[in-house]
Amino acid sequence: MSAATRVLHRNLPMLLLRAREKMMERFRPLITAHGLTEQQWRVIRALDEHGPMEPRHISDICTISSPSMAGVLARMESMDLVIKERFAEDQRRVLVSLTDTSVELVRVISKDLEAHYRALERKVGPEIVERVYRAVDDLLAGLGEEDE
């Protein structure tokens, strides 16, 4: 293969996927121990951090496609994890909120979650974790992602 046809950059999307999977290996057991899927936990975290939102905004934050989000929210509603309420002025629009059940799950899981983050910082160093946060924030900002 000639130098002209060789890719010179490392495969950043693949590296980010590998890093995500390594992180999820640490956190997935905690999430599933509480009967949640990764997608459900992402939705709960997003609603906990940002407050009630419309499904399309949740989809954007959680990187879940709109068709998948409809199913995720329907299952979460049947599990008493979210409440969907129609806007009075526009019945086509829906606002999604956490239930008391989800608020309690966040409270319970957050203790273990913070312990996992402390363990991660002990393993790789808090400076590395902070640099990763900054680098990912900078990457998203540079790609035009809004600060979420």
pTM here is 0.86
pLDDT digits (tens, 9 = 90+) for 98-137: 999 999 999 999 999 999 999 999 999 999 999 999 999 9
Range of the domain at 133: 12-142
Residue 4 lies in a domain: no
| CATH code for position 84 | 1.10.10.10
Q: Which of 5-19, 49-63, 106-120, 121-135 has the lowest mean pLDDT?
A: 5-19
Q: Is residue 1 part of a domain?
A: no
Is 60 exceeded by the pLDDT of residue 58? yes
Whether residue 23 lies inside any domain: the answer is: yes
**Total count of domains within the chain:** 1
- Is 6 part of any domain? no
Residue 42 has a CB neighbour count (10 Å cut-off) of 18
Within-domain flag for 5: no
- Average pLDDT in the chain: 93
Mean pLDDT of 86-94: 88
In this prediction, residue 67 carries a pLDDT of 93
- Assigned domain for 123 exists: yes
What burial class does residue 3 get, using C-beta atoms within 10 Å of its C-beta: 0-12 exposed, 13-18 middle, 19+ buried? exposed
The residue among 145 and 40 whose pLDDT is bigger is: 40
Residue 3 lies in a domain: no
Of residues 103, 97, 96, the one with CA closest to residue 66: 96
Note whether residue 76 is domain-resident: yes
Spatial distance between the Cα atoms of 133 and 121, rounded to a whole number of angstroms? 12
